[in-house]
Amino acid sequence: MNKSQAPHPLKQRLGGRNLYLVGMMASGKSSTGRPLAEQLSYGFVDTDAVIEQLAGQPIPKIFSEEGEEGFRAMESQVLSAIGQRHSLVVATGGGMVSKPENWGVLHQGIVIWLNPGREELLRRLHADSSNRPLLQTEDPEATFDCLFAERLPLYTEADLHVEVGVEEPDGIALKIIEFLPQLLSPPVKMNG
């Protein structure tokens, strides 16, 4: 619930549409999603956390046992189930955008791309890459660049592009709330 305990006026205008946060690994989807959901009195879901809970295993283990394909299949199933629900902020895994069928669900809501930029992403990933199975290669930076180049055109399909600077997640959430009304059609007024 937001600070005043009253629902944010945007909540009504959103009409229950889910907000999907997309972006590369370490772009801050979960840390921004939580305050965003709180401000809007929305629920919060992290697709990676749901997958881990359902599989009863951490993501790296799922990758090693089921392969990337197995993980992607679970990811699509989880997204499809989430798409049946409403009023959620959803932090997605970095690769969610790569399957065309996932866009059928994503486009039912509002898609928000968080982009801290290559250097900042690499800095963050350098500090914590152990949990990222796709980067366990001989040259993680080159692997990252390949993935980023491949996904960039997909991320740009998002409805809202957020260039993340030095702000804290709370500040980014506020910035998103400030811009969201521009994506919503103005209320229709009828003269009686």
**What radius of gyration do the chain's Cα atoms show?**
17
Distances (CA, A) of 79 to 1, 46, 138, 175: 24, 10, 31, 25
Q: Say if CB 59 and CB 131 are below 8 A apart.
A: yes
* Interface residue with ligand S3P, options 37, 39, 44, 48 (CB under 6 A): 48
22 binds ligand S3P (CB under 6 A): no
- Total number of residues that touch ligand S3P (CB under 6 A): 10
Distance CA(43)–CA(184), nearest Å, equals 20
Q: Which is nearer to ligand S3P, 4 or 130 (CB)?
A: 130
Per CB under 6 A, contacts with ligand S3P among 116-155 are: 132-134
Q: Which is nearer to ligand S3P, 26 or 180 (CB)?
A: 26
Cα 165 from Cα 63, distance rounded (Å): 32
Beta strands in 7-166 (DSSP E): 19-22, 43-46, 88-91, 110-115, 160-163
Q: Which position among 33, 35, 94, 116 is part of the footprint of ligand S3P (CB under 6 A)?
A: 94
Q: Minimum CB separation from ligand S3P for residue 25, in Å?
A: 3
CA dist 131 and 64 (Å) reads 12
Residue in 7, 80, 14, 13 with CA at minimum distance from that of residue 47: 80
Mask of contacts with ligand S3P, 56-85, x by CB under 6 A?
Answer: ---x--------------------------
Q: Of 30 and 39, which has the nearer Cβ to ligand S3P?
A: 30
Chain centroid, CA 103 distance in Å:
13
Q: Which two tokens stand for residue 6?
A: 């009253």
Cβ distance to ligand S3P smaller for residue 35 or 93: 93
Among 14, 19, 21, 25, interactor with ligand S3P by CB under 6 A: 25
| Contact set for ligand S3P, span 151-180 (CB under 6 A) | none
Candidates 7-15, 90-98, 99-107, 178-186; binding stretch for ligand S3P (CB under 6 A): 90-98
Please give the residue ranges that form the binding site for ligand S3P (CB under 6 A). 25, 29, 48, 59, 93-95, 132-134
